[in-house]
Amino acid sequence: MSKPIIAIPADIREFDGATWHAVQQQYVRAAVKAAGLMPLIVPALEDGNDADAILDRVDGLLVSGSASNVHPSLYGKEAREGDGPFDPARDATSLPLIRRAIERAIPMLAICRGIQELNVALGGTLASEIQEQPGIWDHRKPQNVDRDTMYSIRQSVFVKEGSCIARIVGPGEVRVNSLHRQAIAETAPRLQVEALAEDGTIEAVSVIGAKAFAVGVQWHPEYWAETDSPSRKLFVAFGDAVRDYAASKERLAAAQ
């Protein structure tokens, strides 16, 4: 069987006066090398994308991290100065894909901005500049360092016993690379909290009652997916779920 195909929604970026639809290499590489999948980049459009047309043609959805933040208007808040940068085209592309992937039982892995989009798509809210809140650590990425140092594994999260992620990486303490200044505030009703940082920040969720793999993590398993065991296990589990879905589609097509 050929490699299953997954969709990765793009970000909008400006280079040399032109607008680009872009996804960071680390997500593409992890999908290919660790999960054994073939990624296709979905253009970020404020209008005109057809979520079902996209999902008809793929076997999974990977929602990546980004330097931009989900616009607060999408979870009932007013945007404050400093809440950005925003990417309305990414919001308009990712949120419908997330909702329809869950409804259609298409496997999904959401990372960093992706977990925030997942929470908002299902009715939750986000907190900005969490490092300013009493008792919350500074989860932001370090400045003026190389990328390996920036994404170094230096933080503990605690995976809940019996959770979806516990079945993949084991329960208890797991060391990760979590880099963010926004986080889940009110958890969407359909999300189960799977892991917490030591300061109580939500670091992983799963979709309650999902009929396929539907997990979001605040950290960055894609960066070390080829060398770090927990990171690789997450991508392998996602890849296995995508392959199972692709095989079921083939069986259904053959039976018709």
Active site residues: 112, 220, 222
Burial class (CB in 10 A: 0-12, 13-18, 19+), 108: buried
Please give the structure tokens belonging to residue 210. Answer: 């999902």
Report the amino acid identity of residue 217. Answer: V
What is the spatial distance between Cα 167 and Cα 147, in angstroms, rounded to a whole number? 30
Q: Beta partners for 134? A: none
Provide the H-helix boundaries in 17-87: 25-33, 51-55
Find tokens 């990977």 and name the residue. Answer: 62
Cβ(71)–Cβ(38) under 8 Å?
no
Query: Please, which residues have CB within 8 angstroms of residue 123's CB and are 6 or more apart in sequence?
Result: 188, 189, 190
H helices then E strands: how many in the chain?
A: 7, 13
Cβ(44)–Cβ(87) under 8 Å?
yes
